Structure 1
Amino acid sequence: MANEQLDRYTPVFAIAAAAELAEMHPQTLRQYDRIGLVSPRRTRGNTRRYSLHDVAQLREVARLSIEGLSLEGIRRVFQLEAKVRDLETRVRDLERTLTEEQLRRPDRRVFAAGSAGGEVITLHRGTRVRRAAEVVVWKP
C-alpha cells in the first residue's frame, strides 16, 4: 500500500472508527452493509474497511432518515444520484467527442428537420433553413 495514492475512496477506517466519524453505532453500520445501503470494501481477512466517501454516505443516510425517508427511499436516492453521475460523465464524453470531430472535420455538414413531414435534410456549413411563414387553419 506504500505505492498507492490515498483519496476519498481509499478504504482505511475500521468499523469502530467509521462509526465514530459517522456518529452512529457500529451495529448500525453492519445493518446498512447487510442491506446494501453503504457497503464498505473488505480486507483479505474479510473485515470491513470504510473510506471517507463511505463515512459521508453514512452521514447522508442519517440526514435523509431524519428528514423522514425510509431506508429503501434512501437507497433509491443513492441509486439515482449514481445514475446522474454516470449520465453526466457520458454527456461530457459525448461533448468531447463532438468537439474533437468538429475540429477534425471543418467541412462537416449540418442536419435539420424539413418542413414537410419532419424528414431530415442535409445543410452545408453556413446555410440557413428558409422558414415557411404560412398560416394553417385547422378545422375538426
Structure 2
Amino acid sequence: MNDRNRPVYMISVAAQLAGVHPQTLRAYEQKGLVTPKRTSGNTRMYSQADIERLELINELTGEGINLAGVIRILDLQGRLDERDEELDSLHRRLRKLADRVHELETRESVTALVRASDIPPVVRRLR
C-alpha cells in the first residue's frame, strides 16, 4: 500500500482537512462517495487519497453539481483511470513484443549471413 492510501486520519481530522463537518463524511460514506478503512474497533480512518477525493467532491458541489452528479463523475473518472492503466499495460506489452521481434529478426539475419557467406563451398555440399 502506498503512502497516499494508508489510513491515518480519524474522522474529526479528515473532516477538518477536507473542510466539512464529520456528519457530512458519514453521509458521503453512506452514499458510497468515500470508503474509509475501519480499525478493529470500527473507527473510520481516512487516507490522503480520501482527503483528496473529498476535496474534489467539495469542488464539484461548490460548482453546483448535486451528489448524484458527483457520484456519476467519480464513477466515470474511475473508469477512465482503469482504461488508462489498461492502455499503459498494453503499451508495455507491445514494446516487449516489438523488442522480441527485433531480436528474432536480428538473429535470423545473422544466421542467414553465416549460412550464405562464411561456410566454405565444400562444407555446404556436405550438408
- Matched residues in 2 for 1:54 and 1:103: separation? 40
Aligned to 1:22: 18
Question: Number of paired residues?
Answer: 104
TM-score (norm 1): 0.70
Higher normalized strand content (fraction of residues): 1
Asked if 1:49 corresponds to 2:45, the answer is yes
Aligned to 2:71: 75
The structure that has the greater radius of gyration is: 2
Q: After the TM superposition, which parts of structure 1 deviate over 6 Å for at least 4 consecutive aligned residues?
A: none
* Secondary structure of the structure 2 residue equivalent to 1:68: coil
Higher normalized helix content (fraction of residues): 2
Structure 1 unmatched ranges of 5 or more: 109-140
- Could you tell me the percent identity over the aligned residues? 39
Superimposed CA distance per residue, residues 24-68 of structure 1 (whole angstroms, 9 cap, x where no aligned partner): 100000010111111111111111000111111111111100111
Aligned to 2:32: 36
Aligned to 1:135: none
- Tell me: higher relative CO, structure 1 or 2? Use CA pairs within 8 A at least 6 residues apart: 2
* Secondary structure of the structure 1 residue equivalent to 2:3: coil
Aligned to 1:12: 8
Q: Give the RMSD, CA atoms, in angstroms.
A: 1.5
* Secondary structure of the structure 1 residue equivalent to 2:34: coil
